[in-house]
Amino acid sequence: MQVQHRKGDALTGIHLAMKAEGQDWKFDAKTGTSSNMPNGMVSIVLYDVQADMGSKGRFHKDHMKFDFRMLDGKVTTKKIPTTNLAKFTIGAADLAVPAALGTNGVGTGHDTIVIHLQFTAAKTDEFLKFTREHMHQQTQLLVGSKVVAEPYIQSEISGGQADLDFSSIDQAQAVADALNKR
């Protein structure tokens, strides 16, 4: 990541390049912010973003958020093995209603794809306890035996609802399909 100017957490003139899904992706933004999180993670939010995502196309977004690991004091997009993370398993029987695809954006057409989850009463209690016990930790969410997300728990989650973010509709659909199999 290249930054023209940095003052505290404020960034200007940002160019972020990474390899994803076997392609070179590039993001240019006028401004942004960065914040360090526990567990060696850094969160970067870019504003007024021009994105080039290879075969997925080029587009403009009002904002985009990225969470990266720190490796030897530098932001890395390299996959670092995660071991000994607390795991929370979700299956079709744990959902009060089928998992539903949606977006979490403002209707730009390039919003983040999410799966909306509504847990049963029993799973709601279990999820609340899990998020309470693992606040300020990175965790793993599993569907069956497959890790589908590695969220950082910022606060306990009550109410039995959660959204899982995905970078592609194909990834989201595959997980939703697995969740909805009874």
User: Does residue 167 contact residue 135 with C-beta atoms inside 8 Å?
Assistant: no
Topology annotation, domain 86-180 = Gyrase A; domain 2 (3.30.1360)
Average pLDDT, the chain: 79
pLDDT by residue (tens digit) across 31-87? Answer: 888 777 666 667 787 888 888 877 777 878 777 777 776 555 555 554 444 557 889
Is residue 134 within 8 Å of residue 141, measured between CB atoms? no
Higher pLDDT residue, 105 or 16?
16
Helix (H) or strand (E) holding 168: none
Question: Can you tell me the distance from the alpha carbon of 157 to that of 82, in angstroms, rounded to the nearest whole number?
Answer: 23
Q: Is the full-model pTM beyond 0.85?
A: no
pLDDT for the residue numbered 80: 46
The ranges assigned to domains in the chain are: 2-76, 86-180
